[in-house]
Structure 1
Amino acid sequence: MEAKRRWRGVLDLEAQFAFFRSQPRHPVNAAAHALLAGPILFTNLFVLHFLLLPLPLPLDPALALALAYAASYLAVDRRAGALAGQLFLGPWAASRALAARLGFALSWKLVLATQLFCRTWQFLGHGLIEKRGPTVRELPEVFLMEPFLIVLQILNKLFGYEPYPGFSKNVDKKMEELKQRKIN
């Protein structure tokens, strides 16, 4: 029951966005996350093209992951979710073409170098700049929702986008509740 309630909370967009925005974000760390989340996700999809899992044809593991992310994002918000879903399906197609062209021998080197570079900057951002990283308990939210929350924050800052009227006010209230819990 606890796990079911927890996963329902992962898809609670107001709570997730409030938590995301309430985290101390140094501009360098925020920029690193915004710039490096894409290459990390791309190389995750890229390497999955070489896994041999018993999935029904033509569903490869990379497509299954891209569709799962897209479906999750559509579940929390249709408009921004559709955009974020496209930001997974486009790279899936590109990673499939690149994997076919490079082959495994060269692909794993590209994936390793990219992951090491991007993850190192993210860990440095959390450890040296923020002095705090996500806890193990927060990892489902980080891996599933953070790419979407980055897109949502960009849409909100650049275009004033809200999934529905009053969303920002509700998020601000939840952020205040989070601050109160930290104080007490």
Structure 2
Amino acid sequence: MEIRGLLDLEKQYAFYKAYHRDPVNILLHRLFVWPVVFTFLLLLYFTPCVSQFPLLGSLFLPLHLLTSHGLFLNLGFLLVLLFVVIDLCLDKKAGSLAAVLCLACWVGSSFLARRLGFLWAWKVVLVSQLVCWTGEALGHALFEIPVFFAMHSSWTFFLLTKLKAIWPLIQVLQTTFHYEPYEGFNASVRMKMEAQIKEWEKKQQRKTM
């Protein structure tokens, strides 16, 4: 039931929008979310290749041609594969664009990691992750309610830390191209978002009583 809920586009997008309404906070997330994904994949470049695991190696055997170009099927690739599947399950159109961006991050981070080497790569990752997560945290701390207070479980926390990468993308598509996955989506999301806000406000009132 929990997995099904996490793949519910309306529910999860309404959850995201309920705690990302301030323009400054929205902008900060748009700026920092994808660099977090890119630099995390940069570090995962140095993890073991799937060819070292017999079962996984046989499954991805045709793709081993990529290794000649420095694209190793490591844990970063498997994580991107998971992201692609999740994004496509959420929304085929926006998910396809998110999938392309995820794959581009994997390719770009692989080339950069190969050039930098581990000694410099982990330093780049450390600095960028600190800057990006600090920027997002300040966006909530200074401009909006921290989303962490609304988390319901460890599953939600783990997946939303990545899945939110697709949410700013959908927001950009909506504001730029008036994108709507299907008719009635925006109206339904608005209703669920308002319900989320009211629920949170009620919880806050109980705590202060």
Q: Same fold (TM over 0.5)?
A: yes
SS at match of 2:93: helix
Paired-residue identity, %:
37
RMSD over equivalenced CA pairs, Å = 1.9
- 1-structure distance, mates of 2:3, 2:173: 25
Tell me how far 1:31 sits from its aligned partner: 0.9
* TM-score of the superposed pair, with normalisation by structure 2: 0.79
TM-superposition CA deviations, 1:23-55 (whole Å, max 9, x none)? 253222211111011111100110001122655
- The answer to whether 1:129 aligns with 2:139 is no
Q: Do structure 1's residue 109 and structure 2's residue 123 form an aligned pair?
A: yes
In structure 2, the residue matched to 1:160 is 178
Deviates more, 1:25-34 or 1:103-112: 25-34
Letter in 1 for 2:38: F
Distance in 2 separating the partners of 1:116 and 1:183: 31
Q: CA deviation at 1:173?
A: 2.2
What residue is the counterpart of 1:78 in the other structure?
A: 92
Cα distance in 1 for partners of 2:198, 2:30 equals 28
The structure whose Rg is larger is 2
Structure 1 distance, partners of 2:30, 2:133, is 13
Aligned pair in 2 of structure 1 residues 31, 103: CA closer, same or farther (>3 Å)?
same
Q: TM-score, normalised by structure 1?
A: 0.89
SS in 2 for 1:161: coil
One-letter identity of the residue aligned with 1:165: E
Cα distance in 2 for partners of 1:130, 1:101 equals 39
Mark the runs of 5 or more structure 2 residues left unpaired by the alignment: 58-63, 65-72, 203-209
Structure 1: gaps spanning 5 or more residues = none
Letter in 1 for 2:5: G
SS at structure 1 position matched to 2:164: helix
